[in-house]
Chains A and B, each alone.
Chain A
Amino acid sequence: GAGVSQSPRYKVAKRGQDVALRCDPISGHVSLFWYQQALGQGPEFLTYFQNEAQLDKSGLPSDRFFAERPEGSVSTLKIQRTQQEDSAVYLCASSSVFPGEQYFGPGTRLTVT
C-alpha cells in the first residue's frame, strides 16, 4: 500500500510568512509524529498525535509552531512568522500501534529566505 506522503516536498518562504505543511499517514495508522531535521543533523522530535489527540508537544520550539490532526488522519504543521532558523526538513511518521514501528515520509524541505 501507499506509504506516508508529505506535501509540498519543497517550500521556500520569505521571513515572516506563514507556512502549512501537510502529512498523509498510512491508512489506518493511529499514531502520527512530526520531526525537524536540520542540515547535517538527525531528526528531532516535535510532537505526537494519537488519533486526533495531541498527546505530546514538548518538542515544538516556540509558540509559532502549531500542529493539528482534526479527524485523526491527515495532519498539518503550521509555522507562523517564519524565521531563518526554521529552515530544515520536516519529517512526518506514522505507526499502526503505540508506540510501534514508525514509518517516515520523504519530508518537506523548508527554506526561509
Chain B
Amino acid sequence: KNQVEQSPQSLIILEGKNCTLQCNYTVSPFSNLRWYKQDTGRGPVSLTIMTFSENTKSNGRYTATLDADTKQSSLHITASQLSDSASYICVVSAWRVDYKLSFGAGTTVTVRA
C-alpha cells in the first residue's frame, strides 16, 4: 500500500490563478517531506524540503506547509504561469532510511492561458 497519497490527481487552472495540492502520508518514523516538480520527459526537481520542526517553506511562488501531527502537507502555487504545467510529487522519507524516498503518484497541473 502506498504510504504517500496525493490529491487531486489532476487539475486545470487559468494563468495567474492560485492552486493548492494536498499530500497525506503514513511513513513513520518521519524524517522529512519534499515536493518535487517533474516536467514531462524529465527527472523530478526538488522544490522544497521540510523536516519535522518546520511548518512552512517557500521557494518563489511555491509555498509548502507541513502538519506532522496530522501527517498532511500542501503545496500552494501563487499566480500560476504556463511553465508551472507539470506533475508535482510529494516525497516522504523515514528516519534512518531517509535516502529511500517514498513518492506519491503526483498531481498533474495544467495551466491554460
Question: Are A45 and B100 in touch, CB under 8 angstroms?
Answer: yes
Question: Beyond A4-B43, A42-B4, A107-B43, is A102–B49 a contact (Cβ under 8 Å)?
Answer: no
Secondary structure type dominating chain A contacts: loop
Contacting B at CB under 8 A, from A84-113, are 91, 93, 95, 98-99, 101-102, 104-107
Residues of A within 8 A of B45 (CB): 104
A43 at the interface (CB under 8 A from B): yes
Contacting B at CB under 8 A, from A25-42, are 31, 33, 35, 40-42
A56 at the interface (CB under 8 A from B): yes
Question: Are A104 and B44 in touch, CB under 8 angstroms?
Answer: yes
Report the minimal beta-carbon distance from B48 to chain A, rounded to whole angstroms.
11
A/B interface sample: 29 pairs, CB < 8 A: A4-B43, A33-B99, A35-B101, A40-B105, A41-B105, A42-B4, A42-B91, A42-B103, A42-B104, A42-B105, A42-B106, A45-B100, A45-B101, A45-B102, A48-B99, A48-B100, A59-B100, A91-B44, A93-B43, A99-B98, A101-B46, A102-B46, A102-B101, A104-B43, A104-B44, A104-B45, A105-B43, A106-B43, A107-B41
**B-side interface residues toward A, CB under 8 Å?**
4, 41-46, 49, 89, 91, 93, 98-106
**A-side interface residues toward B, CB under 8 Å?**
4, 31, 33, 35, 40-45, 48, 56, 59, 91, 93, 95, 98-99, 101-102, 104-107
